[in-house]
Structure 1
């Protein structure tokens, strides 16, 4: 792949720091990723506060709404307004009255934190939720999975500048859609939101992290049948993938990968 030059995202902050290397101190400027409290407000009622990167928040709002089951299809989200405040950002989301009535019935108190998609759940039952079944799962050549991860690793301007972000991408027909965030679950919600109005669910979701329970759960909820991670899955994630009909691939690095579920869908 040819070298790609990526611009430094605006959602970064240069700060002075001292680097010590082999006992020698050097004053330098470090580029740090911004992390912001993002309040998701549905029809005027606050539902969740997530720590996230303040970019692509419209995609995040749609993806989160879908993967959390707040709405069932993109058209049930009617409007999004971003409001900047002194201590964070508010995403005002308007959903249909039917979905809002259901949300009020099952509303739970989420308080998300970076790297933890389940923080704030108030019971084991609400944390370990039933998983959606993937309908009409697809097959993919293993070379496409390797290419997808290669492209994902090359298209991470926020992480390249700061070393502090995760990325998620949707690879399909040789093209990839990528979103970044300081939280891996947020990055996945963003790419799911960006792809939500596309009917197709073929190709592969790729992530620059381990494959946790929540990653598989969100992919299944959005109808994606193949998930590939640069690192390992958890045992719970593998069990969930097998239950949901998701092909789960880990350790996608260079020319190798490990397939943990429904291996027949990766064509060799």
Structure 2
């Protein structure tokens, strides 16, 4: 396959010269490299955060970030997004309702995002966790649906297949069909893009689940709960803080979802065949 003919999203990757060794032979070639640039977010003219991101689906990213961070309580509080391009990066200028802007000023965070970061630049411990409403029961799901969703997510990662450098997040139906997929160099960014796409669309977020290609960190759990999705399936492990938040909010948290295998950290009763106390399951604090 000629990589130059792969249908990539504009701006998501670029061909760069590389030198390597295969079978003890040195080679020179060109290879696809995922684009990573600074993306700044401004709210009503006030700079708030700078993230390193892949410059695709930026309106989804801006909306999803604002919703998952609790700056916006709903899409109706966003009046518009303007994209400003400069040699050093892209600025997303969001015009938001006065109530949202007041909310932002109350819990202002100065952040410098990195692709592997968790809570970069948070000003105080009080800003780490925020109160989220508990999730409704949601649909009964099956282990096979979760496995299907993860498989479909992998098959739909166009940028990852070409560059090997990005994460992805997908919203899947209760049957495991991946209907929305977003990719980015940062796992948080990919999930924010997905949250924004869900908010803009007509899909009922609470009727399905989210699958991600990363570990289930605290922020990934918090963003999933904020989106009203009852189950998060991750290809890698959970953390203690993520597990505690998932337990408190009613999120079913699944990790190590690989093939037909998985590990359930919280609320296993939402999955068919896994009653809440099966096998001596211990409820997390």
- Between the aligned partners of 1:258 and 1:24, the Cα distance in structure 2 is 42
Q: How does 1:72-221 map to 2 (within 5 A)?
A: 72-172=73-173, 174-197=177-200, 198=202, 200=204, 201-221=206-226
**Counterpart contact for 2:215–2:238, Cα < 8 Å:** yes
Q: 1:167 offset after TM fit, Å?
A: 0.2
Q: State the TM-score, normalizing by the size of structure 2.
A: 0.88
Counterpart-to-counterpart distance in 1, 2:99 and 2:264: 40
Deviation at 1:257, TM superposition (A): 1.2
Question: Are residues 1:244 and 2:249 paired?
Answer: yes
Q: TM-score, structure 1 length as denominator?
A: 0.94
Q: Which moved more, 1:191-200 or 1:150-159?
A: 191-200
- C-alpha contact 1:50 1:113 (8 A) present in aligned 2: yes
Contact 1:178 / 1:191 at 8 angstroms: preserved in 2? yes
Asked if 2 retains the 8 angstrom alpha-carbon contact of 1:169 and 1:206, the reply is yes
8 Å CA contact retained: 1:148, 1:176: no
Query: What are the equivalent positions in structure 2 for 1:13-32 lying under 5 Å apart?
Result: 13-32=14-33
| Residues 51 and 112, structure 2, Cα contact 8 Å, conserved in 1 | yes
Unpaired stretches in structure 2, ≥5 consecutive residues: 274-285
1:233 to 219, 238, 258: 238
Gap regions ≥5 residues in structure 1:
none
Partner-residue secondary structure (3-state), 2:266: coil
C-alpha separation in 2, matches of 1:131 and 1:212: 16
How far does residue 13 in structure 1 lie from its aligned partner after superposition?
1.1
Point out which structure has higher relative CO (alpha carbons under 8 A, 6+ apart). 1
Label 1:125 to 1:106 Cα distance change in 2 as closer, same or farther (>3 A): closer
Q: Where has structure 1 moved over 4 Å in runs of 4 or more?
A: none
- 1:167-188 CA-to-partner distances (Å, cap 9, x unmatched) read 0000015342000000000000
SS for the counterpart of 1:215 is helix
Q: How many Å apart are 1:8 and its aligned residue?
A: 2.6
CA distance in 1, matches of 2:105, 2:48: 10
In structure 1, what is the equivalent of residue 65 of structure 2? 64
Q: 1:131–1:240: 8 Å Cα contact kept in structure 2?
A: no
Shift of the alpha carbon at 1:222?
1.3
Q: What is the deviation of 1:101?
A: 2.0
Confirm or deny that 1:261 pairs with 2:285. Answer: no
| Residue 31 of structure 1, CA deviation | 0.5
Question: Larger deviation: 172-181 or 128-137?
Answer: 128-137
Aligned to 2:280: none
RMSD: 1.6
| CA-to-aligned-CA distance 1:74-126 (integer Å, 9 cap, x gap) | 11111011111110001010111121122123212122111213111122222
Distance 1:102 1:195 in 2: 23
The number of aligned residues is 264
- Contact in 1 for aligned 2:170/2:178 (Cα 8 Å): no
